[in-house]
Amino acid sequence: MEENICPKCGAPLAEITETPTGRKIQRCSKGFWNPETKKSEGCEYVKWLVVEPKELDEKCPKCGAPLLLSITRFGKKMKKCSKGGWDKETKKATGCDYVEWINGTKEDLNELCPDCGAKLVLFTTSSGKKMKKCSTAGWDKEAKRATGCTYIEWLKPGEYSSAGEEFLPPEIN
């Protein structure tokens, strides 16, 4: 299959863009995002690109190897030891298992917004504060105002502990 041709309509793909969560996508040049209707228009083909882990200027506290910054398929960021790996056959992590999740992340919750009934998401700010926010909430960059539902509930420290993050194996091409 041609790399830069849309498999749906055969048009060339547009330039690679980065999402707010740091993931990279490439849209079909015949499709675009309409911020007014919040819908894709035209061809809706989107190719998600694997983001290469970035080497950080930090050392693993366990073994001293450089740390890598990687982004999971849900857009969460974590620091991982570069000596860590994933054994596809045994489905086990290999090497150094040091992982540190980075704050400023967002998790889907199984709770509904008391105002509008949409799903809530849990936001963790970079300072480690947590809040529940309605998933329909957004930010209109041009009008500089919040859009969608404005429900926010700040959590007191310790009120919500993220119980055991699911460890995701690195994405394999």
The site that binds Zn ion (CB under 5 A) totals a number of residues, namely 23
Cα R_g (the chain), whole angstroms: 19
User: Using the rule CB under 5 A, is 134 a contact of Zn ion?
Assistant: yes
Min. distance of Cβ 158 from Zn ion in angstroms?
25
Amino acid in position 71: I
Q: Is position 8 an interface residue for Zn ion (rule: CB under 5 A)?
A: yes
Q: Which stretch binds Zn ion (CB under 5 A): 17-25, 74-82, 99-107, 161-169?
A: 74-82
CA atoms within 13 A on the CB side of 150: 4
Tell me if 115 contacts Zn ion by CB under 5 A: yes
In angstroms, the CA 118 to CA 101 distance is 27
Q: In what order do the strands lie in the sheet with 66-71?
A: 54-59, 66-71, 77-81, 99-101
Q: Does 14 bind Zn ion (CB under 5 A)?
A: no
The number of residues making up the chain comes to: 173
Interaction of residue 113 with Zn ion, rule CB under 5 A:
yes
3-state secondary structure of 122: strand
Minimum distance from residue 66 beta carbon to Zn ion (Å) = 9
The reply to whether 28 sits near Zn ion by the rule CB under 5 A is yes
**Nearest-approach distance from CB 60 to Zn ion, in angstroms:** 3
